[in-house]
Structure 1
Amino acid sequence: MNDSTALLTDRYELTMVQAALRSGTAHRRSVFEVFARSLPAGRRYGVVAGVGRVLDALETFTFGTAELGYLTDAGIVDGPTAEWLAGYRFSGEITGYAEGDCYFPESPILTVEGPFAEAVVLETLVLSILNHDCAIASAASRMAYAAGDRPLIEMGSRRTHEGAAVAAARAAHIAGFTTTSNLEAGRRYGVPTAGTSAHAFTLLHDSERHAFQAQLDSLGAATTLLVDTYDVERAVRTAVELAGPGLGAVRIDSGDLGEVARRVRAQLDALGAHGTRVTVTGDLDEYGIAALAAAPVDGYGVGTSVVTGSGAPTASLVYKLVARADGDDPDTALRPVAKRSTGKPSRGGRKSAFRRVDARGIASAEVVTTGTPDPGRRDRLLQVPLVRGGEIVGREPLTAARDRHRAALAELPATATQLSRGEPALPTEIIDAGPRR
């Protein structure tokens, strides 16, 4: 199997490379930035996710025999361009917000600097990863906050593309989900996995009792039994009778989840199963989870909403050229460039960013500057090195991203976690501090 990521791109990237090679501008030092002009309607913050996947994809972004054969046979690139692509290795610098951190409108989430052709060809790959993963993590963060200290399992694999399912599980875990049902996410990224049985398993057996007994025989009393295939009250009674009061959990997947959970909790307690947990699933989103805050629920399973970004399946990030040199000399100063089209303007100049933090440790603004940043004593610089001289330096364990997200969320003002519609939790202050090299 060919693992190259080089063709996970749009044709126009290679069209630009070919034309730039021909015009002699391909090697001009250039700076591209990834940012969002706005957040999805009603969202107070976004969550950075997918940076680790971008670094993995960059490592395999090479044009081998198969890729070059396709491009030349299809007439997509000419001979000189194919020759250039054959030797492609990104040699530039990438900095960006670390995974798990929060972002706001105009935040320079990722900065890619290098020769124009080397940097522009990464646009589609970078955006396809970050737009998806940031959208998932941003929705998952809201769900995790609504859940409080109750665990969440991501179980949306059947509601999205098989590859997206793996990425979604990773992004949701960064933003606070405890486990995933997706085994490839467990194997590839180390996300803890969970899952027991579906209604089909109960329907397979001659009775619910037989189904429960078979699951208990296989997995032990700590398992979770699905109790809403037929009659919930009878199922709970049968479950405790077979497993004893040490039954791990029961799962409810339908009906008025809050009301059913209250009845099931009362029944479990009456049967002496005080330690048996109640897990609910079934078309939950952050609003449904918040509505169950007072219900006797011990955990949630979320599918469709999390893998589709809870109504915002893309973060609407863009990848824009913001500065470039006037010649090929690597020491030539960069000058700002920007598009000025109506409705989609960009701001020229390479940006730096820091989060202004007050004496209480609470952020008050996202400060984006085109010059050298001048943060205060308490302020936090946001960009970290990811790639230096073409070498990846920014890899980190997923646990670091999870820890960072908890800290970043705790730093935001209380309005950030409100589910009602409103403006971003932090204003973005743009400071033009003069040119940078």
Structure 2
Amino acid sequence: MSINPTRDLQPGTRALAPVSLMTDHYELTMLQAALRSGTALRPSVFEVFARRLPEGRGYGVVAGTGRILENLSAFRFGETELEFLQSRQVVDARTLDFLANFRFTGSMYGYGEGEVYFPNSPLLVVESSFAEACLLETYLLSVLNHDSAIASAASRMSGAAGSRPCIEMGSRRTHEEAAVAAARAAVIAGFASTSNLEAGLRYGLTTQGTAAHSFTLLHDSEREAFAAQLASLGKDTTLLVDTYDVVAAVRTAVELAGQELGAVRLDSGDLVALARQVRAQLDELGNTSTRIVVTSDLDEYAIAALAAAPVDAYGVGTSLVTGSGAPTAGMVYKLVSRAGDDGTFVPVAKAAKNKASVGGRKRALRRLNARGVAEAEVIGIDHEPADDGNDRALMQDLVIDGVVQPGWTGPEAVHRAAERHRASTAELPGSWKRLQRGEPLIPTLYETDPV
């Protein structure tokens, strides 16, 4: 069978499906009411932020912005979407006419993917008409809350793993599209590879995988299964050695592959004890270069517990794709400024108890000390915060007048985000890898008046 290369086989070039109905009903009814009141086109500023971090965590990691920007052109209302809205009488004819011509023409600014964040960091600022910003609300939050939750968990795991690589392998534990997004977010936050092939295609990620227990059980003996895998995948493959008896399996693996055996995988039992036992056995057999990969419901705490064990790589699934106890980043999207009747922008804020917001258009920088270590997140309200000469601006131009800016989409953007994550965590206080419960690593400070 021959395959002719096509555009769809190139990373990052999948045809985009419409995303405009991946939203809440009330976004469209708000639009209809705003059109009627004459306020739909009022210039507005919305902001995405998290009021707090998940309990006990010291920082979060931004992810999902690139996916939003890749799909911004697909946030349109075509014939199918309009017919659905009309048939369900979701909105009136005037609103349908508005939607038929919709495209985002505003601007977006925000933290780059991979950047760490703290409570009230202005992660994404949307400047547009109320109508345009309103329609995007649910979609923006859906993507950012999911992807940032995964990236935040992945960062804790890769931090606990240190120089040992982590493999994302949680596809079967989540929604099929969420699995692709999770793989992307994990790589941004320090994971080396993924088992998800669609993520590999879309984003140019490294994919890995060998065999499951079913492959061993398919054969009449473990020896036959190992021999078949080695014949097909080569001696550098990873053999799963805990289907029956680990000691016997390791012995068989070495007998068949010799010192060229790439790795063995442990997927059950006391992983610390087993890793030590298997390392000693491999070394005794002369396979000092054969690696040990561990899987089995790992999270950041299990990875940290394995730090002293002779483990070479970790495969992480369920805990990663569910955010390791924090499946959402808790981000909200609030109107913080709008134009008055005279065209002058005025700050607006929600004052409800426990859900208050801070009005005004935000800009942010990270305050660094003389050693380049982060000391605070400084946010200016309606002005650029004062830079003491050793600080780093955090807001990036993402979309200007409806045009997505270069460098934020596609496979290369994922690799740049991973590098941004490495640089961003390197600035944090040395305690950032600790898994003990605590307060945010640095405080968030507001500057209300220009300096």
Instruction: Indicate whether the TM-score tops 0.5.
Output: yes
Aligned counterpart for 1:342 among listed residues 344, 353, 363: 353
Q: Are 1:36 and 1:107, in contact at CA under 8 Å, matched by a contact in 2? A: yes
> Structure 1: where are the runs of 5+ without partners?
none
> Hey, what does 1:432 align to over in structure 2?
448
State the alpha-carbon separation in 2 of the partners of residues 223 and 433 from structure 1: 61
Quick check: 1:317 aligned with 2:331?
yes
The normalised TM-score by structure 2 is 0.94
2:425 is matched with: 409
Deviation of 1:416 (Å): 2.0
Structure 2 residue runs of 5 or longer lacking an equivalent are 1-14
Q: CA RMSD in A?
A: 1.2
SS in 2 for 1:197: coil
For 2:259, what is the secondary structure of its paired residue? coil
The 8 Å contact of residues 134 and 315 in structure 1, kept in 2 or not, is answered as yes
Alpha-carbon distance in structure 2 between the residues aligned to 1:29 and 1:145: 42
Q: What aligned pairs does 1:17-416 form with structure 2 within 5 A after superposition?
A: 17-327=31-341, 332-373=343-384, 374-396=386-408, 397=412, 398-416=414-432
1:219 is aligned with what amino acid? L
Equivalent residues of 1:385, 1:394 under 8 A apart: no
Alpha-carbon distance between aligned partners in 2 of 1:4 and 1:207, rounded to the nearest angstrom? 50
Letter in 2 for 1:406: R
Q: In the TM superposition, what is the alpha-carbon distance from 1:314 to its structure 2 partner?
A: 0.1
Aligned partner of 1:423 among 439, 446, 449: 439
* Shift of residue 372, structure 1, vs aligned partner: 1.8
Q: What is the distance in 1 between the residues matched to 2:431 and 2:227?
A: 48
Aligned counterparts of 1:37 and 1:370: Cα–Cα separation in 2: 16
Whether contact under 8 Å (2:362, 2:379) holds in the other structure is: yes
How far does residue 395 in structure 1 lie from its aligned partner after superposition?
3.5
Q: Does the Cα contact within 8 Å between 2:16 and 2:74 map onto a contact in 1? A: no
Q: Contact between 1:387 and 1:394, CA under 8 Å: does it hold in 2?
A: no
Percent sequence identity over matched residues? 63
In structure 1, what is the equivalent of residue 7 of structure 2? none
Paired residue total: 432
Q: Distance in 2 between matches of 1:5 and 1:286?
A: 34
Q: Distance in 2 between matches of 1:417 and 1:145?
A: 6
Give the 3-state SS of the residue equivalent to 1:283 in structure 2. coil
Counterpart secondary structure, 2:127: strand
Give the letter aligned to residue 136 of structure 2: L
Partner Cα separation in structure 2 for residue 133 and residue 312 of structure 1: 12
Moved over 4 A (4+): none
Kept in 1: contact 2:194–2:208 (CA 8 A): yes
Cα distance, 1:2 vs. partner?
Answer: 7.8
Shift of 1:394: 4.9
Deviations 1:236-278 (A, max 9, x none): 0000000111100000000000100001001001111111000
